[in-house]
Structure 1
Amino acid sequence: MIFVTVGTQLPFDRLVSMIDELAGKHALQVFAQTADPGASYKHIDHAPYLTPDEYDDIIARTTILVGHAGIGTILTAKKVEKPVIVMPRKASLGEHRNEHQLATARHLEGQEGVYIAHDRATLSELLNRNDLTPASFRDTPEKTRLQQFLRNFVYEA
């Protein structure tokens, strides 16, 4: 099962609508947490919000996690060692206040088990692969670079 989560602060209809369309086209089993009580989709199961127990139950059954470029989504994927596909929200499309999710996605690029989809074609390709590597907290060159970047940012600011 594919679990799509957009966090609890803002809906992300661009992502969820793409997933809904792709689920119908490729017969994908998807559950989405939408943050939108008025949302309606044809090909996926969905709810606006989940309790912590519901979230944990769905995560346990998930094979691929899909979400916005929120740190909570990334950390969850790494904790449960599931592949994660990230699509950053864009302020230019009214999906967020600024473009910080694009910056987050750039820094996540190349991390093992973290896949970035900026468009429908990439999202479709990733959802249909069966060789996605699980995300994890293992040390990687990318993780070391990100840690050093953050240290420099914090201590030089």
Structure 2
Amino acid sequence: MRLLAMVGTDYHPFHRLVRWVDHWAMQQPGVECLIQYGTAMPPRHADGTAYAEPDQLGSWMDDAGILVCHAGPSTILEARRRGHLPIVVPRRALWGEHVDDHQERFAGRLAQSGHVLTAATQQEFDVLLDAALRDPRVVRRTDSDDDQRPDQAVRTFGALVAKLFR
């Protein structure tokens, strides 16, 4: 089993997600964990890289059994296109992880429609990872929606964003 966690490229550090994954990795020595940590502190237990080229990230996404990410729309769409039901931890302005809480609203909307799994606490996060470890189907797409087609993905994304601002 391989876990890939991605915080994206925003200049705000996302220490919280790195800590959560790193803590879980420490408890699961048989699971290969790679964290793309950006401007956050490097992990102590998991493997890590600050940044990677898009092709490399794509290859890692294809190889991952579990995919964890921030609530960046491009990251989520790419994860879903590659067959993942990503575990999403939205960045929060309260902790200096972003300028506002748009990721919280976006991830909440996607979770309501079953497009992502979300965790608001480390305990919720650990429960999701443990469930995925027991049964990898938990974090694989099983739906039949058509968001793997780029034109449909763009329309779906546009509709979701429009609903956020109503």
Q: Give the TM interval when normalised to the shorter protein.
A: 0.7 to 0.9
In structure 1, the partner of 2:151 is none
Deviation of 1:138 (Å): 3.6
TM-score normalised by the chain length of structure 2: 0.78
| C-alpha distance in structure 2 between counterparts of 1:99 and 1:106, whole Å | 11
Counterpart selection for 1:150 from 133, 138, 159: 159
1:4-153 mapped onto 2 (5 Å cutoff): 4-10=5-11, 11-27=13-29, 28-36=31-39, 39-112=41-114, 114-129=116-131, 130=135, 131-135=137-141, 138-139=144-145, 150=159, 153=162
Unaligned ranges ≥5, structure 2: 147-154
Q: Give aligned-pair identity as a percent.
A: 29
Deviation of 1:113 (Å): 5.2
| C-alpha distance in structure 1 between counterparts of 2:35 and 2:22, whole Å | 9
Q: Tell me: CA distance 1:88–1:152, structure 2 relative to 1, closer, same or farther (3 Å).
A: closer
Deviation of 1:151 (Å): 7.9
2:8–2:72: 8 Å Cα contact kept in structure 1? yes
Q: Tell me: CA distance 1:151–1:2, structure 2 relative to 1, closer, same or farther (3 Å).
A: closer
Deviation of 1:9 (Å): 1.6
Deviation of 1:26 (Å): 2.4
| C-alpha distance in structure 1 between counterparts of 2:51 and 2:161, whole Å | 37
> Structure 2 counterpart of 1:41, which letter?
P
> Structure 1 counterpart of 2:63, which letter?
R
> Structure 1 counterpart of 2:124, which letter?
T
In structure 1, the partner of 2:150 is none
| C-alpha distance in structure 2 between counterparts of 1:87 and 1:134, whole Å | 17
TM-score normalised by the chain length of structure 1: 0.82
Per-residue Cα deviation, 1:54-90 (whole angstroms, up to 9, x for no partner): 2122112111110111101210111100120001111
In structure 2, the partner of 1:143 is none
Per-residue Cα deviation, 1:111-133 (whole angstroms, up to 9, x for no partner): 34510101101110111112414
Unaligned ranges ≥5, structure 1: 141-145
